[in-house]
Structure 1
Amino acid sequence: MAAKQTEPVTIISLRKLSQAAPEPQQKETKTFTVEDAVETIGFGRFHIALFLIMGSTGVVEAMEIMLIAVVSPVIRCEWQLENWQVAFVTTMVFFGYMVSSILFGLLADRYGRWKILLLSFLWGAYFSLLTSFSPSYIWFVFLRTMVGCGVSGHAQGLIIKTEFLPTKYRGYMLPLSQVFWLAGSLLIISMASVVIPTIGWRWLIRIASIPGIILIMAFKFIPESARFNVSTGNTQAALDTLESIAKMNRSVMPEGQLVEPILEKRGRFADLLDSKYLRTTLQIWIIWLGISFAYYGVILASAELLERDLVCGSKSESEPEPEVVETTGDSEEGLSPCYCHMFAPSDYRTMIISTLGEIAFPSGCIRTYTIMNPLNILGINFLGRRLSLSITMGCTALFFLLLNICTSSAGLIGFLFMLRALVAANFNTIYIYTAEVYPTQMRALGMGTSGSLCRIGAMVAPFISQV
């Protein structure tokens, strides 16, 4: 009787053991990070939309920056400006960019990339429209400075692209974004050739504000960075974003639970100068400054060479002297010479040709310009970011030296063509490297401070190339 009572107890205990067996499996729950999800989802329709919308921020930025180059001859005549006054406009635009770039970087790391991008576009569009109503030179300088503040926030579009793109596609897609900068440059030059001679520079600024306003409405289709959301503890929002991207791409999410550490300390300037990143930060700042000086220097120098019609450092003998407008000044002589030479159609054509040089590296896939292969994209992906940058910067220095050779107008255009291609390649590479070298919690600040140092080079460039 006792043996019969013990048998059921044994059976029950075995059942309990068999039911308790799955417990170790629950402890081995699979997890994944945002990086794992981005790589698993892969490239698809979402990334094409992301590329088109965020890439279009380059169109707006290029139009606002290149606007000064095409408007300078007109305001020089209208307000009878001297060389330093024309250069001062560009300098103040980049001063506004420099000051607000760090601020926007700090805010983006703390409050989100998308919010700051939207704010910067609203700011830029508002003050750009106000610029067209400038009653005087002082107001023009002030309002363009405010536009520069807004443009500095456009870098958040690049960060959002970087944080959503799988690693192996960054080296291809980010350099191709230069197509949008090229499109904006060509668009503003083409518009200027038609609008300025007919209805004036004020209407040019108003029309140039339209793309930015349209783009603001398109931002609603792009979500906040999932990397940013998960770093702030908003894991559910990050998960919803990733699932939406996977559904749009017709892909799948990795199995398991989204787990990533919450980063309480975000957007701290001290992190950039920490021993781990100090050397990298200082090197990046110097490189950004030099690249920007070269880039905007060649753009403004191109406009200056065309405006003065200078070849071999002197006025062409076959051309008449530019009209000199004498204005009453405060000097003892009472006269202040001001060159008033409006761009001719041939000048706009030459600017377009030199601007097309930027196609040579980032967008060699465009068949019309397949004479030069997309060397920048190949270099970034096969030689690496640093070696590719070293080569293009060395070639940039060489062609700046060649620009001093006494040559014909065709030779000058050829050198400018190559220079625009090389300096654009420099920008492509340093943008990618900077976005990748810093972690999520300081990526926007790293880009912001680099952009600020970059604008110091841009502020100096007008006084070297125009004055």
Structure 2
Amino acid sequence: MASKRAEPVTILSLRRLSLGTPEPQPKKEPKTFTVEEAVETIGFGRFHIALFLIMGSTGIAEAMEIMLIAVVSPVIRCEWQLENWQVALVTTMVFFGYMVFSIIFGLLADRYGRWKILLLSFVWGAYFSLLTSFSPSYVWFVFLRMMVGCGVSGHSQGLIIKTEFLPTKYRGYMLPLSQVFWLAGSLLIIGLASVVIPTIGWRWLIRIASIPGIILILAFKFIPESARFNVSTGNTQAALATLQHIARVNRSAMPEGQLVEPVLDKRGRFADLLDAKYLRTTLQIWVIWLGISFAYYGVILASTELLERDLVCGSRSESEVVVSVGVSEESWSPCYCHMFAPSDYRTMIISTVGEIALNPLNIVGINFLGRRRSLSITMGCTALFFLLLNICTSSAGLIGFLFMLRALVAANFNTIYIYTAEVYPTTMRALGMGTSGSLCRIGAMVAPFISQVLMSASLLGALCLFSSVCIVCAISAFTLPIETKGRALQQIK
């Protein structure tokens, strides 16, 4: 009987369980991550070291092509009987080509990829550099060097690729160290010039200088396209494959979940740079880029003129050589022809080493004072040392002033490169760098006429002009509306 009574209880209990409605379970949302989160999670490792070495080496090729004009100018001045303005025009046309194609390559890089434009620019630059060595006349030399300038303008995509792969806390350290490669290229071309020009001539110097660019073309296959660019165009699978590759090389883990980024239909529009959010920043960046370039190439070319013409203390070099042209007295014309002596090359090397002298202080300033304050301080000091260059001093004093000037102008370039790459979002980063690089070439185009023409007429006037421009840039840097120190790279506006 007891067992019969227990049975209904069991049945009732089962009925209650079966008739009850189950409690709703919370729906789990799939985990997602962005490229920014993936880059930060993967961290810094072996991939970034290889990236630093390969992309940084683009600075060697660029420095050799740009500094080439400074060491070849005395030779072509004599060979083709050139006036001061003709020598200055060579540098101006190089930067004219650079200016025009900086914008074009920036637009193309934001639409078709950083890697493709970087490769194209190196192939272009190496091809026309080799052609320059066969120039039959001054006109052909100017034209072909201008075409080299067009190609070199795309080298800045290497910096953008580095910036977009580096974790936030490493950008302020690794990007300034890239100055080592520019320094190496500058020293290499000066050292080669001191050996090659007196022996086998300037044409062979140009051929040798194109070799690093050709080697880099082969090395680019080890560097992938920017993952940030790929996701901005909707190619999420390619971006994910790139990030997984970096994680394997670095022996680190990827974030859990699915890579998700908004597809951006509008990319690389010039109007975005002048949008209300970025208008003031863009205009001030352009002023700073123009002024820094004006000062940087002004220092380089002024160094050459001060050594070649011995303008310090208003003197003239006793080693000036008058070259006769023609066979009759009527066709005779004087040509200023002063080849660099070994001591002149040593002075150029010492002053060029200055470009890395302030790198440790520059890194500290960028990471602790911030990009804006650091840039305003170094620009102010640059203005001061331009004025000090007017002091009548010894050869050692001149070398010291040039050394400090090269150190300061290099620090300026380091900081503005980093700031520009960080302040703009991925949709317009390459265009922002391209237009800035293009506008700054106006300063580079004007600098030769100040350093190689005005300086011969008035040393003080030329130096005061350089100093005034640097003061304007210092004020502009201090008043920039956005500080990018410690800020993650923006993907969209």
Q: TM-score, normalised by structure 2?
A: 0.87
1:324 to 322, 325, 349: 322
Contact 2:61 2:212 in 1 (8 A): yes
Contact 1:309 1:315 in 2 (8 A): yes
Give the corresponding residue for 1:350: 347
* Cα separation, 2, equivalents of 1:100 and 1:150: 8
Q: Is the counterpart of residue 113 in structure 1 residue 111 in structure 2?
A: no
Secondary structure at the aligned position of 1:181 is classed as helix
1:399 to 378, 382, 385: 385
- The verdict on how the C-alpha distance between 1:2 and 1:109 changes in structure 2, with shifts beyond 3 A counting, is farther
Letter in 2 for 1:351: M
Contact 1:62 1:181 in 2 (8 A): yes
Give the corresponding residue for 2:221: 220
Letter in 2 for 1:360: A
Give the corresponding residue for 2:184: 183
Structure 2: tracts of 5 or more residues without a match? 1-6, 454-493
* 1:7 Cα offset (Å): 6.8
* Cα separation, 2, equivalents of 1:194 and 1:144: 22
Letter in 2 for 1:462: P
Give the corresponding residue for 2:75: 74
Contact 2:312 2:390 in 1 (8 A): no
* 1:337 Cα offset (Å): 3.2
Give the corresponding residue for 2:472: none
- The verdict on how the C-alpha distance between 1:95 and 1:12 changes in structure 2, with shifts beyond 3 A counting, is farther
Letter in 2 for 1:123: W
- The verdict on how the C-alpha distance between 1:202 and 1:34 changes in structure 2, with shifts beyond 3 A counting, is same
Give the corresponding residue for 1:153: 154
Letter in 2 for 1:443: R
* Cα separation, 1, equivalents of 2:18 and 2:261: 42
Query: How big is each residue's C-alpha offset from its partner over 1:120-165, in whole Å with a ceiling of 9 and x where there is no partner?
Result: 0000000000001111111100000000000000000000000000
- The verdict on how the C-alpha distance between 1:3 and 1:281 changes in structure 2, with shifts beyond 3 A counting, is same
Q: Which 10-residue stretch deviates more, 376-385 or 77-86?
A: 77-86
1:459 to 439, 445, 460: 445
- Which 4+ residue blocks in structure 1 deviate beyond 3 angstroms? 1-14, 333-337
Contact 2:321 2:338 in 1 (8 A): yes
| RMSD between aligned residues | 1.8
* 1:6 Cα offset (Å): 8.3
* 1:5 Cα offset (Å): 8.6
Letter in 1 for 2:351: S
Give the corresponding residue for 2:461: none
Within a 5 Å distance, the mapping from 1:34-53 to structure 2 comes to 34-53=35-54
Within a 5 Å distance, the mapping from 1:133-172 to structure 2 comes to 133-172=134-173
Q: Which 10-residue stretch deviates more, 193-202 or 178-187?
A: 193-202
Give the corresponding residue for 1:371: none
Q: Which 10-residue stretch deviates more, 302-311 or 345-354?
A: 302-311
* Cα separation, 2, equivalents of 1:404 and 1:223: 49
Within a 5 Å distance, the mapping from 1:294-373 to structure 2 comes to 294-315=295-316, 320-327=318-325, 336-362=333-359
* Cα separation, 1, equivalents of 2:9 and 2:333: 121
Letter in 2 for 1:244: H
Structure 1: tracts of 5 or more residues without a match? 363-373
Give the corresponding residue for 2:125: 124
Contact 2:319 2:338 in 1 (8 A): no
* 1:78 Cα offset (Å): 1.1
Q: How many residues align?
A: 444
Give the corresponding residue for 1:24: 27
Give the corresponding residue for 1:420: 406
Give the corresponding residue for 2:435: 449
Query: How big is each residue's C-alpha offset from its partner over 1:393-430, in whole Å with a ceiling of 9 and x where there is no partner?
Result: 00000000000111111111100000000000000000
Bigger CA radius of gyration: 2
Contact 2:124 2:151 in 1 (8 A): yes
Give the corresponding residue for 1:269: 270
Contact 1:63 1:188 in 2 (8 A): yes
Query: How big is each residue's C-alpha offset from its partner over 1:41-72, in whole Å with a ceiling of 9 and x where there is no partner?
Result: 11000000000000000000000000000111
* 1:326 Cα offset (Å): 4.4
* 1:302 Cα offset (Å): 0.4
Contact 2:289 2:436 in 1 (8 A): yes
Secondary structure at the aligned position of 1:407 is classed as coil
* 1:311 Cα offset (Å): 2.1
- The verdict on how the C-alpha distance between 1:335 and 1:274 changes in structure 2, with shifts beyond 3 A counting, is farther
Query: How big is each residue's C-alpha offset from its partner over 1:155-177, in whole Å with a ceiling of 9 and x where there is no partner?
Result: 00000000000111011000000
Within a 5 Å distance, the mapping from 1:60-71 to structure 2 comes to 60-71=61-72
* 1:308 Cα offset (Å): 1.3
* Cα separation, 1, equivalents of 2:214 and 2:319: 42
Contact 1:95 1:145 in 2 (8 A): yes
Secondary structure at the aligned position of 2:323 is classed as strand
Contact 1:91 1:458 in 2 (8 A): yes
Q: Is the counterpart of residue 377 in structure 1 residue 380 in structure 2?
A: no
* Cα separation, 1, equivalents of 2:15 and 2:56: 71
Give the corresponding residue for 2:57: 56
